[in-house]
Amino acid sequence: MKQNRHMDLVDRRIVALLQNDATLSHADLAERVGASTASCWRRVKALEAVGVLQRTVRLVDPTAIGRGVNVLCNVRMRSHAIDARQSFEQFVDGRAEIVECFSMSGEWDYLLRVVVADVADYNHFLMLALLGHPSVAGASSHFALSMTKYTTALPV
Protein backbone atom coordinates (compact mmCIF):
# COMPACT_ATOMS: atom_id res chain seq x y z
CA MET A 1 0.00 0.00 0.00
CA LYS A 2 1.20 3.47 -0.78
CA GLN A 3 1.80 5.29 2.48
CA ASN A 4 0.06 8.45 1.25
CA ARG A 5 -3.27 6.64 0.63
CA HIS A 6 -5.76 8.14 3.06
CA MET A 7 -8.58 5.82 4.08
CA ASP A 8 -11.65 7.54 5.42
CA LEU A 9 -14.30 5.91 7.62
CA VAL A 10 -16.26 4.53 4.64
CA ASP A 11 -13.10 2.95 3.18
CA ARG A 12 -12.33 1.36 6.55
CA ARG A 13 -15.87 -0.01 6.84
CA ILE A 14 -15.64 -1.46 3.33
CA VAL A 15 -12.32 -3.14 4.15
CA ALA A 16 -13.65 -4.52 7.44
CA LEU A 17 -16.76 -5.93 5.77
CA LEU A 18 -14.88 -7.49 2.84
CA GLN A 19 -12.37 -9.14 5.17
CA ASN A 20 -15.24 -11.03 6.77
CA ASP A 21 -17.25 -11.73 3.61
CA ALA A 22 -15.61 -11.12 0.23
CA THR A 23 -18.79 -12.25 -1.55
CA LEU A 24 -20.71 -9.10 -0.61
CA SER A 25 -22.01 -7.29 -3.67
CA HIS A 26 -21.36 -3.61 -4.18
CA ALA A 27 -25.05 -3.02 -3.46
CA ASP A 28 -24.79 -4.88 -0.13
CA LEU A 29 -21.64 -2.95 0.74
CA ALA A 30 -23.30 0.33 -0.15
CA GLU A 31 -26.27 -0.41 2.09
CA ARG A 32 -24.06 -1.39 5.03
CA VAL A 33 -21.70 1.60 4.81
CA GLY A 34 -24.31 4.21 3.86
CA ALA A 35 -22.99 5.05 0.40
CA SER A 36 -24.21 4.63 -3.17
CA THR A 37 -23.49 1.46 -5.13
CA ALA A 38 -21.42 3.42 -7.66
CA SER A 39 -19.41 5.06 -4.88
CA CYS A 40 -18.71 1.66 -3.30
CA TRP A 41 -17.61 0.27 -6.65
CA ARG A 42 -15.21 3.21 -7.17
CA ARG A 43 -13.86 2.90 -3.64
CA VAL A 44 -13.28 -0.87 -3.97
CA LYS A 45 -11.48 -0.30 -7.30
CA ALA A 46 -9.33 2.44 -5.73
CA LEU A 47 -8.49 0.23 -2.72
CA GLU A 48 -7.51 -2.56 -5.13
CA ALA A 49 -5.39 -0.18 -7.23
CA VAL A 50 -3.27 0.93 -4.27
CA GLY A 51 -2.94 -2.61 -2.91
CA VAL A 52 -5.08 -2.32 0.22
CA LEU A 53 -7.46 -4.95 -1.14
CA GLN A 54 -5.65 -7.87 -2.67
CA ARG A 55 -6.74 -11.19 -4.15
CA THR A 56 -10.01 -12.81 -3.14
CA VAL A 57 -9.77 -16.32 -1.69
CA ARG A 58 -11.95 -18.89 0.09
CA LEU A 59 -10.85 -20.22 3.47
CA VAL A 60 -10.75 -24.01 3.77
CA ASP A 61 -11.26 -26.07 6.94
CA PRO A 62 -7.94 -27.96 7.27
CA THR A 63 -9.50 -30.92 9.08
CA ALA A 64 -12.06 -31.33 6.29
CA ILE A 65 -9.23 -31.96 3.82
CA GLY A 66 -7.10 -34.11 6.12
CA ARG A 67 -4.60 -31.40 7.13
CA GLY A 68 -5.57 -30.87 10.76
CA VAL A 69 -2.09 -30.82 12.33
CA ASN A 70 -0.44 -27.41 12.71
CA VAL A 71 3.28 -27.28 13.39
CA LEU A 72 5.23 -24.13 14.16
CA CYS A 73 8.80 -24.72 13.10
CA ASN A 74 11.77 -22.49 13.89
CA VAL A 75 14.56 -22.74 11.33
CA ARG A 76 18.23 -21.84 11.73
CA MET A 77 20.26 -21.17 8.59
CA ARG A 78 23.84 -22.33 7.96
CA SER A 79 24.60 -19.08 6.20
CA HIS A 80 22.97 -15.69 5.93
CA ALA A 81 24.37 -15.07 2.47
CA ILE A 82 21.84 -13.72 0.01
CA ASP A 83 22.02 -16.81 -2.23
CA ALA A 84 21.37 -19.13 0.73
CA ARG A 85 18.37 -17.11 1.83
CA GLN A 86 16.99 -16.91 -1.72
CA SER A 87 17.42 -20.66 -2.16
CA PHE A 88 15.59 -21.33 1.10
CA GLU A 89 12.78 -18.92 0.29
CA GLN A 90 12.33 -20.58 -3.12
CA PHE A 91 12.16 -23.95 -1.33
CA VAL A 92 9.50 -22.55 1.03
CA ASP A 93 7.50 -21.12 -1.86
CA GLY A 94 7.46 -24.53 -3.56
CA ARG A 95 6.20 -26.49 -0.53
CA ALA A 96 2.39 -26.53 -0.24
CA GLU A 97 2.46 -27.72 3.38
CA ILE A 98 4.24 -24.50 4.41
CA VAL A 99 1.38 -22.02 4.64
CA GLU A 100 3.21 -19.17 6.36
CA CYS A 101 6.86 -18.16 6.56
CA PHE A 102 8.36 -15.28 8.50
CA SER A 103 11.96 -14.07 8.46
CA MET A 104 12.70 -13.50 12.14
CA SER A 105 14.95 -11.50 14.41
CA GLY A 106 16.51 -13.21 17.39
CA GLU A 107 17.82 -16.74 17.86
CA TRP A 108 16.01 -18.32 14.91
CA ASP A 109 16.13 -17.15 11.30
CA TYR A 110 12.68 -18.23 10.09
CA LEU A 111 9.37 -19.30 11.56
CA LEU A 112 7.23 -21.62 9.46
CA ARG A 113 3.65 -22.72 9.94
CA VAL A 114 3.30 -26.15 8.43
CA VAL A 115 -0.02 -27.97 7.99
CA VAL A 116 0.09 -31.75 7.66
CA ALA A 117 -2.13 -34.80 8.07
CA ASP A 118 -0.33 -36.33 11.04
CA VAL A 119 2.99 -36.67 12.87
CA ALA A 120 4.32 -39.17 10.33
CA ASP A 121 3.56 -36.73 7.52
CA TYR A 122 5.45 -33.99 9.37
CA ASN A 123 8.35 -36.31 10.11
CA HIS A 124 8.63 -37.09 6.40
CA PHE A 125 8.62 -33.36 5.55
CA LEU A 126 11.11 -32.49 8.31
CA MET A 127 13.65 -35.25 7.74
CA LEU A 128 13.58 -35.55 3.97
CA ALA A 129 12.77 -32.04 2.81
CA LEU A 130 13.49 -29.34 5.39
CA LEU A 131 16.58 -30.73 7.09
CA GLY A 132 17.80 -31.99 3.72
CA HIS A 133 17.94 -28.45 2.35
CA PRO A 134 21.60 -27.36 2.11
CA SER A 135 20.91 -23.95 3.70
CA VAL A 136 19.24 -25.34 6.83
CA ALA A 137 21.40 -25.94 9.91
CA GLY A 138 18.61 -26.99 12.27
CA ALA A 139 14.97 -26.79 13.22
CA SER A 140 12.80 -26.83 16.32
CA SER A 141 9.20 -28.01 15.98
CA HIS A 142 6.20 -27.19 18.14
CA PHE A 143 2.90 -29.02 17.60
CA ALA A 144 -0.26 -27.00 18.21
CA LEU A 145 -2.63 -28.85 20.52
CA SER A 146 -5.57 -26.67 19.56
CA MET A 147 -6.28 -23.39 17.83
CA THR A 148 -7.58 -20.78 20.23
CA LYS A 149 -7.87 -17.99 17.67
CA TYR A 150 -7.53 -17.83 13.90
CA THR A 151 -8.38 -14.88 11.75
CA THR A 152 -7.18 -13.32 8.55
CA ALA A 153 -8.99 -10.04 9.26
CA LEU A 154 -6.76 -7.11 10.17
CA PRO A 155 -7.92 -4.28 12.43
CA VAL A 156 -8.79 -1.22 10.32
Is this prediction's pTM over 0.85?
yes
Average pLDDT (97-111) is: 98
DSSP at 153: P
**Given a cut of 60, is residue 138 above it in pLDDT?**
yes
- pLDDT category of residue 2 using cuts at 50, 70 and 90: very low
DSSP-derived 3-state class of residue 25 = coil
Can you give the C-alpha Rg of the chain in angstroms?
20
pLDDT value of residue 116? 98
Domains of the chain (ranges plus CATH)? 9-49 (1.10.10.10), 62-143 (3.30.70.920)
> Using CA of residue 40, residue 46, residue 48, residue 52, what is the dihedral sign?
negative
